Structure 1
Amino acid sequence: MAINLTRRAALGAAAALPFASAATPLLAAGAQTKANTTIARSFQLGDFTVTTLLDGSLPRDTAKEIFGGGASDEEFAKVSAENFISPDVAQFFFTPTLVHTGSELVLFDTGLGQGGIQAALADAGVSPDQIDVVVITHMHPDHIGGMTTNDAATFPNARYVTAAQEYDFWAAQEAGNRVGDLVAAKVSPLAEKMTFVEDGGDVASGITAMSAFGHTPGHTVFHLESNGQRLILTGDLANHYIWSFAHPEWEVRFDMDKAAATESRRKVLGMLAADKVPMVGYHMPFPGAGFVETRGDGFRFVPVSYQMMG
């Protein structure tokens, strides 16, 4: 596993990122698309407009079995009570992110494939055929489900970017593997339009890949920088805003390599806390953006509030 943080750590802390206050349709190339609704929220990052898109949300029982591997029942209940949440039920959020660089519309992950991504994009004033680049952080179903609609590409004019390790692993699975079968149906038909990015590689100017393996073999997070302001799109680095931050070592059922996932969490969350860089997490409570601070041997996710609104 390789995580290169040195160059990024030297860039300095991000300034406050004001949310845009009004929804504006994307009428022409180069126009800034902004939204402030219950399913699409925009804010500025230098010259970039970043919009988080709520694809869906649902509760899930057996929270400790999912997020508390290695924790005692008492310890898991204590952390939950201290943070005013149930130890039994977790609320899942699914939040792709759209980045308008000024010249391209770059979409990170595509959601569950149940129409939520199209609805959220519409609230941001964007149609699927306007997307220039689709970046896949990893290939779990809730990230690639929206790549096709009725067996056709949902984003017909886009090029696609992911980590080679991720695609190669899932494409090599035998028939009958749930994720492998979905990759064969949703991703492989678009392979001729796909390029592969390595750790430190650029997706577009100001958007850099950072390997953060463990959740899956090629799980990748992305560093955004524009005019000295920074943001990390953390994908599924941390799947829950309380448990995975307070105890990065607690095993998550969905992490394929538990030890590597813990190492990735500690390295990336530690960088975010040290440099005061904001993040957007795919499964964080919508709008998914916030900050990270150290707390004891772990961390605390601090959701955005008025400091990012304008």
Structure 2
Amino acid sequence: MTMKLTRRAALGTAAALPFASIATQSLAAGAETKANSTVARSFQLGDFTVTTLLDGSLPRDGAQEIFGGGASDEEFAKVSADNFISPDIAQFFFTPTLVNTGSELILFDTGLGQGGIQKALADAGVGPEAINVVVLTHMHPDHIGGMTTNDAATFPNARYVTAAAEYDFWSAQEAGNRVGDLVAAKVTPMAEKMSFIEDGGEVASGVTAMAAFGHTPGHMVYHLESNGQRLILTADLANHYVWSFAHPEWEVRFDMDKAAATASRRNVLGMLAADKVPMIGYHMPFPAAGYVEPRGEGFRFIPVSYQMMG
């Protein structure tokens, strides 16, 4: 169920089949567009076209401190070596996703706000004004930064959807809270166009919210289904494609409720592995799509390759 609230009300409320990659796809009415570039990659899911959009990528030191809470130095180094990556440096990716349902263009998250989302959309042949719905999986800065450009709405014709718990938490923060201040600047001005969604609510037919709290108080993942084909947009459920899968219990610095985040990871990753449902993760290596398999007491992320080619 979704609840449409006015700005005043908003401020007052504290298995699955492989999907085919495509090089050319109409993502906006009447437009033939190319969506197979270094920053925009399209896949077909039943009647939906799902396009991942690379907003940016950067390396960051201190990988174990960020992703290995509770791991010994030896454990973290071994998992890293077994997967041919450095235990010291993590490469971050920021990947909003565009879903064309055939009747609406739905954008999941807006990126860092440094222009990458506009460039990726342009490679997909879509202008910001064509977006019908913007879904915020949660309100960390790298997901809401692109909500506005030069103090104006980046997506002027869109309606907005987010979890009620997420909005209530961040909008209640006192001035001086970094995320709360950004929410006040980027999200609150859109309150009159915003709907709040609960676990199991529909954004559109075939697009359903699934509670995966822990990373933030209202963090949601989204289940897509079209013509019997399924995919989960996992947002920040797992922030790294090796460490967060191999050891879901390792604490992530960015997870606000670490025990709840671990439980959400095990629940959703277990379902993806058991049902063989593909996923798209916001911080997975671009194009951010792949599968999950059980591996020991954890999991392994298998990046998309030719199995998604048409």
TM-score range, shorter chain: over 0.9
Partners in 1 of 2:229 and 2:294 — Cα distance?
A: 21
- What's the RMSD between the two structures over aligned residues? 1.1
Deviation readout 1:5-51 (Å, 9 max, x if unpaired): xxxxxxxx1111110023657353xx675510000000100000000
The answer to whether the Cα contact below 8 Å between 2:48 and 2:102 also exists between their aligned partners in 1 is yes
AA of the residue aligned to 2:154: T
The answer to whether the Cα contact below 8 Å between 1:34 and 1:49 also exists between their aligned partners in 2 is no
Secondary structure of the structure 2 residue equivalent to 1:65: helix
TM-score normalised by the chain length of structure 1: 0.94
Map 1:43-62 onto structure 2 (within 5 A).
43-62=43-62
Partners in 2 of 1:295 and 1:34 — Cα distance?
A: 37
Secondary structure of the structure 2 residue equivalent to 1:300: strand
User: Are the structure 2 counterparts of residues 27 and 202 from structure 1 closer, same or farther at C-alpha, using a change threshold of 3 Å?
Assistant: closer
Determine the structure 2 residue equivalent to 1:205: 205
Determine the structure 2 residue equivalent to 1:15: 17
AA of the residue aligned to 1:206: G
Secondary structure of the structure 2 residue equivalent to 1:78: helix
Partners in 1 of 2:32 and 2:274 — Cα distance?
A: 31
Determine the structure 1 residue equivalent to 2:5: none
Secondary structure of the structure 2 residue equivalent to 1:111: coil
Determine the structure 2 residue equivalent to 1:86: 86
Determine the structure 1 residue equivalent to 2:253: 253
Map 1:118-267 onto structure 2 (within 5 A).
118-267=118-267
What's the CA shift for 1:306? 0.6
What's the CA shift for 1:86? 0.1
The answer to whether the Cα contact below 8 Å between 2:28 and 2:130 also exists between their aligned partners in 1 is no
What percentage of residue pairs aligned between the two structures are identical? 83
Secondary structure of the structure 1 residue equivalent to 2:208: strand
Unaligned runs of 5+ residues in structure 1 are 1-12
Secondary structure of the structure 1 residue equivalent to 2:35: coil
Matched pairs, number: 296
TM-score normalised by the chain length of structure 2: 0.94
AA of the residue aligned to 1:185: A
The answer to whether the Cα contact below 8 Å between 1:34 and 1:43 also exists between their aligned partners in 2 is no
Determine the structure 2 residue equivalent to 1:95: 95
User: Are the structure 2 counterparts of residues 117 and 201 from structure 1 closer, same or farther at C-alpha, using a change threshold of 3 Å?
Assistant: same
Secondary structure of the structure 1 residue equivalent to 2:17: coil
AA of the residue aligned to 1:109: D
The answer to whether the Cα contact below 8 Å between 2:25 and 2:32 also exists between their aligned partners in 1 is no
Deviation readout 1:71-115 (Å, 9 max, x if unpaired): 000100000000000000000000000000000000000000000
User: Are the structure 2 counterparts of residues 232 and 130 from structure 1 closer, same or farther at C-alpha, using a change threshold of 3 Å?
Assistant: same
What's the CA shift for 1:117? 0.2
Deviation readout 1:228-267 (Å, 9 max, x if unpaired): 0000000000000000000000000000000000000000
